[in-house]
Structure 1
Amino acid sequence: MRTFPFVTVDVFTKQRFGGNSLAVFPNAVGLTDEEMQALAAEFNLSETVFILPPAESQHTARVRIFSRTTEMPFAGHPNVGAAYVLAREGRDRHGLLVFEEIAGLVRVEVARDALGEVTGATIAAPGVLERGMQIPVDVIARCADLSPEDILTATHQPVVASLGISFVLAEVAPHALAGAMPNLQAFREAAAARPEMKGRFSLHLYAKMDTGIRARMFGPLSGTVEDAATGSANATLGALLLVLSGGNQATYHIVQGVEMRRPSELRVVAEATAAGITAKVGGDCVEVLRGAARL
């Protein structure tokens, strides 16, 4: 029987049982693809991370991220959580880590407190902002069980955007955000009508509040009815808002997961570079559980 230790952490929070839960296998050597997918389904979290030796020795690790149903090329909170776990094991180099992933290299800065204890991390998304098709307001309204009037278009039309993994981004009226509810059939119809999206139709709603930005992310087609904190989606949102503003750099404080009673706080910094619009996303983490899988 083979034994594989794991750690669970809550990401984008300072409090246990807040933020977005994540399972990390710090040494996944020996696990097959099928076993990784089965373990991710067994944990039943939005993502589970498996750490492997890097292909290039100058990098920290090869990181594989699995949702309940499929492997993902990149995701935000799994990278922040994995960096937190590995840095606490001393696997960073002067506060930096570099992860090899399907979407490319992910560079990570470790956060520490005054005593030198690891508190979290900030990751740089592996790509630059890419904008795709616009999605009709009525499609967004049906998917989120809202009225078309609740979808705001003064800043932008609902749009597909990506920094390594795509999301549909839509602004909604502040009063409408709490009442949104994913309609699975509408999500299926929206994805089926757009075969170029290859079955991925994850909807990131946001509202501008006096205190910053509040967000919710629905991904029922991948098994995540609602996500407590979506680093990749919020990084993409920050990049989109920056390019629409015409600025060179902007910082956003984004709160997600309130309606799930798992409040999460994300820090997003978007920047215009010669290559395009890039973004970083970071936050705090706390360890919750330790154990081992025996296969």
Structure 2
Amino acid sequence: MPNLPFFTIDVFTGTRFGGNPLAVVIGGDALDDATMQAIAAEFNLSETTFVLAPADPNNVARVRIFNRTAEMAFAGHPMVGTAFVVAKQRPDLSTAVFEIPAGIVRVQIERDANGAPVGAAIDAPQPLTIGETVAPAFIARALQLTPADVVTTHHAPVSVSNGNAFVVAEITGEALSRCDPNLAAFREALDAHPQFGSRFPVHVYTKEGSTLRARMFAPLSGTWEDPATGSANAPLACLLLSLEPDAQEASFQIHQGVEMGRPSLLHVDARRTPEGIVATLRGSCVAVMHGEIEL
């Protein structure tokens, strides 16, 4: 098998070594699932993607997404970063359609005045779904906060998804900096909520107008904390719109990764459609490394 080229990109930032790093492997159609998972574990990033031949030749690519321990149906920063890498290889590309397990992701490439790609906007593959609520005590124990730190004025902690489910909870601004994941408490929360399968990702946020600060923790999936989580912030924006019954759309700037020293900025637009509340996620990217994987 020939060596496979790979690229790493920092996503949701315009500064190298900020944002959320991503590895993109070009090709690998003949690889089995175990090898793809092993490559993702070797990179040891939040996610690694594989750009494969599409099932429908009208689409640009089929993309598989792996975190450190499992394949994912959808993730936001891998879609934005993968679009950036593909656009660097195809100067003519302005839009793209990616096939992923959660459905179809439509992409708008963003380029500078010289035609070089600088980022992308993606449509989440599914409308918002709102699942079960979670008692604030589980969030507090998982992040070593107090129950009073969890804000329930607008909504209880709840599972939301645009193709990848997260437990979203509002917390106080002061508590955001104090979050400290407790692995045993995450396991206890998952034991109490077996419907979440093998993962219990918690996305917490504070809100001031249309500006949000957020942190995401998924230690049971190998991600102690994530610098930028598009697939959590997209349904968060949709959830916030759902709480405003008279509003048809809403736009948010979401800052994440600050406490990790990898500041990230995500722009999310949510809007009501006949199919439900949908989201468009956009952000900038910076190329970092490239090389080959020997197999």
TM interval, short-chain normalised: over 0.9
Corresponding residue of 2:82:
82
Aligned Cα RMSD in Å? 1.2
Say whether 1:204 aligns with 2:203: yes
The offset of 1:7, in angstroms, is 0.2
Provide the secondary structure at the position in 1 that maps to 2:77.
helix
Identity of aligned residues (%): 52
CA drift at 1:31: 2.0
Question: Is the 2:144–2:179 contact (alpha carbons within 8 Å) kept by the matching residues of 1?
Answer: yes
Q: Is the 8 A contact 2:249 2:272 kept in 1?
A: yes
- Residue 29 of structure 2 aligns to a residue in which SS? coil
| Deviation readout 1:148-188 (Å, 9 max, x if unpaired) | 11100111010001100100000000111011111111110
Q: Tell me what 1:50 maps to.
A: 50
Contact 1:204 1:233 in 2 (8 A): yes
Alignment of 1:275-286 (within 5 A): 275-286=275-286
1:245 aligned counterpart, secondary structure? coil
Task: Give every structure 1 segment of 4 or more consecutive aligned residues whose post-TM-superposition deviation is greater than 4 Å.
Answer: none
CA contact (8 A) 2:10 2:17 kept: yes
The aligned residue for residue 251 of structure 1 is: 251
Distance 2:210 2:16 in 1: 24
1:73 touches 1:164 (CA, 8 Å); kept in 2?
Answer: yes
- The 2-side partners of 1:149 and 1:248 are apart by 32
The equivalent residue for 2:238 is 239
Question: Would the aligned equivalents of 1:192 and 1:199 in 2 still touch at CA under 8 Å?
Answer: no
Moved more, 97-106 or 111-120: 111-120
Q: Is the 8 A contact 2:210 2:251 kept in 1?
A: no
Residue 235 of structure 1: how far off its partner (Å): 0.5
Higher mean alpha-carbon deviation, 233-242 vs 191-200, is at 191-200
Normalised by the length of structure 1, the TM-score is 0.97
Alignment partner, residue 192 of structure 1: 191
Cα distance in 2 for residues equivalent to 1:65 and 1:45: 12
Matches within 5 A, 1:136-215: 136-209=135-208, 212-215=211-214
Matched with 1:17 is 17
Q: Deviation per CA, 1:190-219: give whole Å up to 9, x if none.
A: 111111111221000001146810000000
**Conserved in 2, the CA contact under 8 Å of 1:60 and 1:91?**
no
Q: Say whether the 8 Å CA contact 2:75–2:231 is kept in structure 1.
A: yes
Could you tell me whether the CA contact under 8 Å between 1:86 and 1:92 is conserved in 2?
A: no
| Aligned residue identity for 1:205 | V
State TM-score, norm by structure 2: 0.97
Which residue of the partner structure matches residue 99 of structure 1?
98
Matched residue pairs, number? 294
Q: Deviations over 1:221-273 (max 9, x none)?
A: 10000000000100010000001112110100000000000000000000000
Aligned to 2:71: 71
